[in-house]
Amino acid sequence: MINVLVVDDSAFMRKIFSEKINSEPGLTVIDTARNGEQALEKIAELKPDIITLDIEMPVRNGLETLKVLRRKHPALPVLMVSALDNRDTVMKALEMGAFDFIPKPSGSISLDIDDIEKELLAKLKTGASSCQPAQNTDKSHITLNERAELNGEKKKTLSRKGRFPIIAMGASSGGPRAVKQILSSLPRELPAALAIVQHMPAGFTTSLARRLNQESALEVKEAEPGDRLKPGSVLLAPGDYHMVFSENRVELNQRPRRWGVRPCADYMMSSLAALYDKRVIGIILTGMGSDGGEGMKAIKEQGGYGIVEDESTALVYGMPRTVIETGAYDEILPREDIPARLLKVIERREN
């Protein structure tokens, strides 16, 4: 039985969340808390397996509570709960170590909880059973010379040819933090284009793209129809739209969800593999679910290269495990080793 602590300042939301969670086999709400201060006391006493944590609360809000939790209870999975207009705050919570979030469909008190019930229950089960403690992956195993090049301390630029490599990256739970760490370690003059699918609702990918653009040397934007892949740039699939490529240009569609998600990494990766064959380098990072396995298989079948994040750094290992089970990869690497290895793969594929 997975013991859940529900933390929300709204009595209505505490009641509704508790009813939904208690109705699901394998889940039970052991208690509720109306603010962060009360939550910290109950966590120390009850030792829940996972908590839902509202962002906007009196006394001690969600971010303040999360900061304490990362220090005192680093292994406790935290599922943030946020109104749709708190997007930047959600991004910060994910960077701080929350494994995922649930958006409130229509504000702090919602009668539309049925819209997110399935997602809530699935994330609670996944988070409690497969979350790893947040890792400090800022330290890398790469050499000092490689670190200097990645940070732009040297002016070396890899040779750029017309047939530049394409990096196709997929992530879900824990992904914003993982993607940020990888992109921030890549040089501005990267001779490869990146396309990324991060499972997120509409609107939240806009905030994520903006933060990634500010915190990395690369040009990052939320993809729009007609956008082109180009070296040194990153296109992020918008929430609620599948992103595929045709003739080097972005196409967005709202085909049915695949694996319960939209955008879907499988669709993006498969379209890139069909267009660019061995030029594609696929990367699957932390995330719940099965997305990515088919896409990585398509990349490998066309002669591309595949990298999977190691379980030691992945917050949730569903997506990486799916790829490993298909055998559609070349290497399994801890997150801190991926940027340096990526540069070496790019160099090899340019020559």
Q: Which residues form the catalytic set?
A: 172, 199, 291
Separation CA 172–CA 75 (nearest Å): 19
Residue type, 19: E
Q: Which two tokens stand for residue 15?
A: 């009641």
DSSP state of 216: S
Residue type, 77: P
Q: Which of 265, 215, 259 is nearest to 236 (CA)?
A: 265
Separation CA 343–CA 34 (nearest Å): 48
Distance from chain centroid for Cα 17: 24
Separation CA 197–CA 294 (nearest Å): 14
* Residues, the chain: 351
Cis peptide bond upstream of 263, omega within 30: yes
Separation CA 220–CA 225 (nearest Å): 15
Residue type, 30: I
Say if strands 280-284 and 305-309 run parallel, antiparallel, or are unpaired: parallel
